[in-house]
Each structure stands twice: as structure tokens, then as C-alpha cells.
Amino acid sequence: MVGNLLDPRTSIVRRHGMSFRTNSKGLKLDPQELLKAFGGLDVHQLEKLADQSVVDAAQFNRDMVVAIAQAAALLETTDFSFRKPLDGKIVVTAFFEASTRTRLSFESAVLRLDGKILSVPDGQVTGVKKGESLSDIGEMLNTYGDAVVMRHPETNSVDEISQNLTAPLINAGNGSGQHPTQALLDWYALLKWRPMLASDTCPDKSRIHLGVVGTPGSMRAVNSFVQLALLFDSAIKRITVVSEMADPLGAKLSDSTADCDIEIEVTNDIKDVLPALDVIYMNSIAFLGDDYKTLDSRYKLDMESKLKPEAVIMHPLARRNELDSALDNTVHNLYFAQAAGAVFVRQALLTAVLARTGALADALTSR
């Protein structure tokens, strides 16, 4: 069930006449098993996303998360170069908060599907400097592109730009709010690692104890990840949040957990709980108003950490000191596989939002 730790020197995978690079170190996951699971990809699920904005992890149900993950698996293992799914479509990447990792991931997804990009690599460069409102920026973008990917340091930015924007919006991180596409790619990695997590009848021995090191209430990636985790209650025994904060979940996520069967506990002691965890999700930085706070130095993982032999570590990256690079070359490293799957999940999402899932359906029938 666990992915293979391939020779790090062979990180180019050749399959069906195509070749692609995967992560250089850590677990290398084969998408085939996930693609075949649950009767295979249901493209009709994805059609529901046509012309829709993707702003909050809470808008997804489990079937949709699985469909996006399976579409990503299809895209990861199939040559789409002659299908050109996004031909003629323009995607605007509007990054008002700098992030090369996320911006390039979306842009690579667009280019690999033969779409086109209008890029705002550093939004301080915009009329914002001259005092332009986000709603006016939204109005402007209506006629420039077919979809807008936005990152913004303010949580209310999604609401503001949506006042006039009629093109679908993909939220690539808004302040301390949400980062739904990160959560989708996190779950793509988890479902490739153990497809059974998406089953209603996940056997008890496969159910996991999930540790979340960080503060979901002020870390948007962790927030969206936990939000999706709540959909997989048949596969998650328990979630332990490790944080020094008093109320790490925040009000909104606390409400969601109240309706959920998963047992949730909070601790500030990582040493105690670590040996029990199957999956550990970490993040570096918590947003606190205009400022940010790095993870407490007690919460560092390294070769001395008491991990279960098959435990996997996830991290949305970029990392700081909290995750020692000595762990990169171990079977605990799921975070590089997580990163390596990012482009495919964003390809799946863009194909769905831009109503071009026909290419996916065609690829399925010709397999």
C-alpha cells in the first residue's frame, strides 16, 4: 500500500510513451491504484465545477475530492499533449502576495494543458499602489482572462474582488483564510499513498491517527487541509492538533468539527503524541493580523524524532527549520511527493472550472 522508495537517481518516469519527472527523494507514489479505485474517475462530478469559483475547502464533498484526485491521477499518467484541453483559454495569475511556488505551479498546469497565462508576479506592482480597489481590479480582469487565480495577504480579498468579477475565481491563499487547492493536492498525495482512505468501508487497521502540528485557525493551508480531513471520517480515527495556542482550531473549524464523528484533541506536547501518529501534517508560518509567527522551536522533526516506522510527514512547503532535510531521504518523506503532485491537481481543477473535461472523458475511453 505504501509507495516505493525508488532510486533517487531515476526520477524520470516513462509510461505510455510519455516521460515526466517526479520527486527526487522520499516516497514515489504510483497514481494507477487510485485511478482504478471506486469504479474509476466519474467525469460528471467534475462537470459541476464548470464556471464555478473555488474559494473555500468547505465547498467540496468527499466525492468531489476523490474525483479531482482521480482526474489528477489520470493527468499524471496520460499524455495530453495532443488534446490541448485549455486551448484558447487565458488564465490570470494575480499574486498580490508573492509566492513563486504556488504561482509557478498554477502556471505550469496552464501551460501543460496548452492554455495561456497573464501573470502578475508581484501585485504591489499594480494600481493598488495608486489606491485602486480590489472590486475595480475584478471588473478589469473580466475582459482580460477566462479565469483568475488570486493570492492576497488579506482574508476579505476574496469577497472584495468577487463584487465585480464575473470570471471564475480560484483562491490560491487569502490571508489567514483558506488555501483550498493546497488542501486538494494534500489529499491527492494521501489518496495515492493509501487509496482506501476514501472508502466507506476502510478496515480498522488502515484507519489513521492524524497529527496536525500548527494552528489551523491562523494557518490557511492547515485550515483547508483539516476541513477536507473531516470528510474522510470513515478513515480517520483521531486528529491530534499540536499547538501552543489556546484555541488553535478557530471558530469556523470548531463548528465543522462539532458535526463530525472524528475524535479531535489538542495538545501542546509533540513528544507524547508523535509515536502514535500515522500521518503528521506540519506548516511553518501562522498569520497573525499583518504579521506572521513561525512554529515553536519545540515542534521540530528530525532523525531523532520518535516516528512510527511507516509514519508519513506532510508539509505544504516552503519549510524553515521545523523539518530537517535529513528526513528527505527516508520513507517518512511524503512532502516531496505532495509537491510533485501539485501541478496535476491544478490541471484537474482548471480543466473542470474552464469546462474542458471533455478531454478527460476522451482520454479515459481511449486508455
143/164 Cα distance (integer angstroms): 12
The least CB distance from residue 263 to a second copy, in Å, is 33
* CB-nearer residue toward a second copy: 19 or 206: 19
* CB-nearer residue toward a second copy: 65 or 167: 167
The least CB distance from residue 310 to a second copy, in Å, is 23
* CB-nearer residue toward a second copy: 164 or 234: 164
Beta pairing partners, 12: 21
Element (DSSP H or E) covering residue 34: helix 32-36
The least CB distance from residue 243 to a second copy, in Å, is 20
68/234 Cα distance (integer angstroms): 19
* CB-nearer residue toward a second copy: 108 or 254: 108
Alpha carbon separation from 171 to 105, 142, 206, 222, 289 (Å, rounded): 14, 16, 33, 15, 19
* CB-nearer residue toward a second copy: 18 or 276: 18
Angle at 149 between CA 144 and CA 151, to 5 degrees: 125
Sequence-ordered list of residues with C-beta below 8 angstroms from that of 191, at least 6 positions apart, any chain = 34, 66, 69, 197, 198
The least CB distance from residue 119 to a second copy, in Å, is 7
The least CB distance from residue 90 to a second copy, in Å, is 6
Which DSSP string corresponds to 179-195?
-HHHHHHHHHHHHHH-G
* CB-nearer residue toward a second copy: 30 or 233: 30
Decide: residue 103, CB within 10 A, 0-12 exposed, 13-18 middle, 19+ buried.
buried
Cell, residue 151? 493570492
Q: Residues interacting with a second copy, by CB under 8 A?
A: 11-12, 20-25, 81, 88, 90, 92, 98-101, 104-105, 107-108, 111-112, 116, 118-123, 125-127, 129-133, 135-137, 139-145, 164-167, 284-285, 317-320, 325, 328, 336, 339-340, 342-343
The least CB distance from residue 324 to a second copy, in Å, is 12
